[in-house]
Structure formats: structure tokens, C-alpha cells
């Protein structure tokens, strides 16, 4: 099907700082569409060729972390992380941006996932643990941004006496709690669409929950 064509000179920058750009996508003189993005004007997804689009790298990775204590059952690890735009601690899977180091590696998504899991939880994955890509790229909300996340899964045995911690995170990141939930608890929260305290969570949290309860991860063990 035909689609409107956007050239690089039709993308105008309205806001540009270290963390975020706001771009005006001028498809026609009277048709302006605004995108909040981590990308700069020359790299916005809307101007990519079809070939470049299919080879697109994600901005970040969301991690489905499935763990068990010795002799125990597997559970889904979720954190309570403070999310500044909503001013609440929201139930969240570990996640983070891909950086330049990751993009130079043979498997950028897995490189970033391994690092983010260790930084946000203190868990260093061993050679016997599993780490794999669920999806190389999801668009977060393409009605207002071209931001995109990969999704990866780690399945790990916890070392004896291990305690989760956020010692590797940046000062701006605030993690209040860690909980490993069993399948029944996850399903109950999915039915309510809130956590135990009645607070709503993100669609990526819901996706992590769904992947865990579906059992699809067991096919990769």
C-alpha cells in the first residue's frame, strides 16, 4: 500500500537535549506530526528507507528475569521502580538503554540485557544460566514516539544467600523493592490489572507477566 514519503529536510527539531528530542514531522505543509524520541532528526525512524527500517536497532531492552532458589520453583522477578512521569513506584521488569558499547558487540541486545540485570538487581548471570532474545524490537507507542524496545529473557538459579540490590544503577534511578512472584500471584495481578497495592503498571510489565505465565520460556531451556 502507498505511504506518505518523508525526507530528512522535512524533519524539524523543536527540542533537543541529552535525553530527549521533540521533532516536527512535516509530511505536508499543513500536516505536522510531533514525535518525542531519543533519536536526533537525521536518525528518526520515519525517514529510513525500507531496508534501513528492517535493520533497525532498538533503543532499549526490557528483561524478563525468571529465577529460583536451590530446590525451589521458578518465579518472575519484578521491581518497584519510581517512574518520574507518573510520580509513583510502578511494578517493573529490569530494563535499560543500549549504549555504544553494546552496538559494537555481536549480540547488542543480550550484551545490554546482561549489564542491566546486573546493575539493577545485583545478579550476575553465570554460564549455566540462560539468556536469550524474545523479540528484537517492539515499538513502544508509535502514535507519539518512534522509541522501540527489544525484549530478552534470563532464566537463572540464585546463588545461596543472594540478596537483590541496585548498587550498579545511576543516582536518578530509584528502586524501592524486589519481589519474586509465582504463577498464581502473577495471574491474579493480571486479572486485576494492578499490583498488590492497587497501582497500575506498564504494558511492558504486562508483557513480561504474560511471557512468564504462558510457559513459552521453558521451550528455550
pLDDT tens for each residue of the chain, 221 residues long: 788 889 999 999 999 998 899 999 999 877 889 999 999 998 899 999 999 999 999 999 999 999 999 889 999 999 999 999 999 999 999 999 999 899 999 999 999 999 999 999 999 999 999 999 999 999 998 889 999 999 999 999 999 999 999 887 777 889 989 999 999 999 999 999 999 999 999 999 999 999 999 999 999 99
- With a CB cutoff of 8 Å and minimum separation 6, the contacts of 111 are 101, 102, 105
Q: N- to C-terminal Cα distance for the chain?
A: 41
pTM: 0.93
**Going from the N-terminus, what domains does the chain have, and what CATH number goes with each?**
8-54 (no CATH), 60-220 (3.90.79.10)
How many C-beta neighbours within 10 Å does residue 58 have?
A: 22
Amino acid at each position: 500500500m502507498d505511504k506518505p514519503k518523508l525526507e530528512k529536510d522535512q524533519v524539524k527539531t523543536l527540542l533537543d537535549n541529552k535525553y530527549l528530542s521533540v521533532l516536527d514531522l512535516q509530511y505536508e505543509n499543513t500536516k505536522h506530526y510531533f514525535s518525542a524520541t531519543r533519536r536526533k532528526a537525521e536518525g528518526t525512524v520515519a525517514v529510513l528507507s525500507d531496508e534501513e527500517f528492517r535493520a533497525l536497532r532498538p533503543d532499549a531492552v526490557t528483561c524478563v528475569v525468571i529465577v529460583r532458589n536451590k530446590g525451589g520453583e521458578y518465579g518472575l522477578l519484578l521491581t518497584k521502580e519510581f517512574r518520574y512521569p507518573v510520580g509513583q513506584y510502578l511494578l517493573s521488569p529490569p530494563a535499560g538503554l543500549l549504549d555504544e558499547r553494546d552496538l559494537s558487540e555481536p549480540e547488542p541486545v543480550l550484551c545490554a540485557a546482561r549489564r542491566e540485570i546486573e546493575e539493577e538487581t545485583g545478579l550476575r548471570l553465570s554460564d549455566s544460566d540462560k539468556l536469550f532474545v524474545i523479540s528484537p524490537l517492539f515499538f513502544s507507542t508509535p502514535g507519539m514516539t518512534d522509541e522501540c524496545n527489544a525484549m530478552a529473557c534470563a532464566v537463572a538459579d540464585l546463588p545461596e544467600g543472594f540478596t537483590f540490590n541496585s548498587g550498579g544503577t545511576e543516582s536518578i534511578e530509584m528502586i524501592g523493592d524486589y519481589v519474586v512472584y509465582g504463577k498464581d500471584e502473577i495471574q491474579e495481578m493480571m486479572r486485576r490489572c494492578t499490583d498488590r497495592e492497587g497501582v497500575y503498571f506498564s504494558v511492558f510489565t504486562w508483557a513480561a507477566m504474560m511471557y512468564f505465565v504462558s510457559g513459552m520460556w521453558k521451550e528455550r531451556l
